[in-house]
Structure 1
Amino acid sequence: MSGQLQTSLRRQRGMGYWGWLMVVAAFGFVFTCVAKMAPAYLDASYVDQALRALAENPRVRNMTRGEIEQEMSRFFTLNNVRGEPTKAVRVIPGTDGMLVSVAYELRQPLIYNVDVIMKFNKQLNIAKTDLCCEPLVDLEQLRKRD
């Protein structure tokens, strides 16, 4: 009976050194991923908020391209958004109004020679402000037509 008890107790010792090492390594990897990618997703949420604020503006249908770009720039400055999102603002005239597009791609180094590529595409059609902020128009096809 004591042999069975000792075997049973050895099995219930818990995680060993290698088990804990794997847990710490997994936690470290997840933490690294979050730390590297979170700022890009935070900026993307500010882009979304900027387009929603523009959609709620009662003057938006009468604004010129320059005024729309200025509003977006002001929002980005107030919320400390820098880099690709600020450069990617495009105001495209259309038949039923203007399309405000913020489409960009970020490449973030993760570990050594491994990069993460994140794509963001938000659009606001001035004529259909209730459909903010998901992509409505494929900008690649517009570029190919021009």
Structure 2
Amino acid sequence: MSYWGWLLVVAVFGFILTCVSKMGPAYIDAYYVDEGLRKLAENAELRDMSRGEIKKELDRFFLINNVRGEPTKAVKIVRGADSMLVSIDYELRQPLIYNIDVVMRFDKQLNTAKPELCCKPLVDLEQFSKRD
């Protein structure tokens, strides 16, 4: 391979490495948010827990797994007549190169009526906030 070919390979590899190093931690946090909701779904006393107890349980899981920042602030709990929705919906903006930013959006939900569908967004919470 010529000099220019190797230079192109190194540049592409460097760009990929930069993307992984900048965006990887956000996806690792999203994985642990997912795991935290799954662990919460396994709790038999979830329906009897108060909002504070649920947040405390999630905060404990996040502390153990070093999840900080936006995911810990974005916890919302909505109680219904026969179920409860725990939602962690957040957006991160990460600077990539010079003035280019990457926006990553994560939306994880736990509906106690359907715990087997954990972590997939089933309800649009924006409709609730518009009515309030």
Q: Does the pair score TM above 0.5?
A: yes
TM-score, length basis structure 2: 0.96
Alignment partner of 1:36 is 2:36: no
C-alpha RMSD of matched pairs (Å): 0.9
Deviation at 1:26, TM superposition (A): 0.3
Identify unmatched segments of 5+ residues in structure 1: 1-14
Name the structure 1 match of 2:79. 93
TM-score, length basis structure 1: 0.87
Name the structure 2 match of 1:79. 65
Alignment partner of 1:127 is 2:116: no
Deviation at 1:119, TM superposition (A): 0.1
Deviation at 1:127, TM superposition (A): 2.4
Identify unmatched segments of 5+ residues in structure 2: none
Residue 33 of structure 2: which of 42, 47, 55 is its match? 47
Deviation at 1:145, TM superposition (A): 2.0
Alignment partner of 1:59 is 2:69: no
Rg larger in 1 or in 2?
1
Alignment partner of 1:105 is 2:91: yes
Name whichever structure is richer in helix by fraction. 1
Ranges of 4+ aligned residues in structure 1 off by more than 4 Å: none
Deviation at 1:52, TM superposition (A): 0.1
Deviations 1:66-118 (A, max 9, x none): 11111101100111110000000111122322110000000000000000000
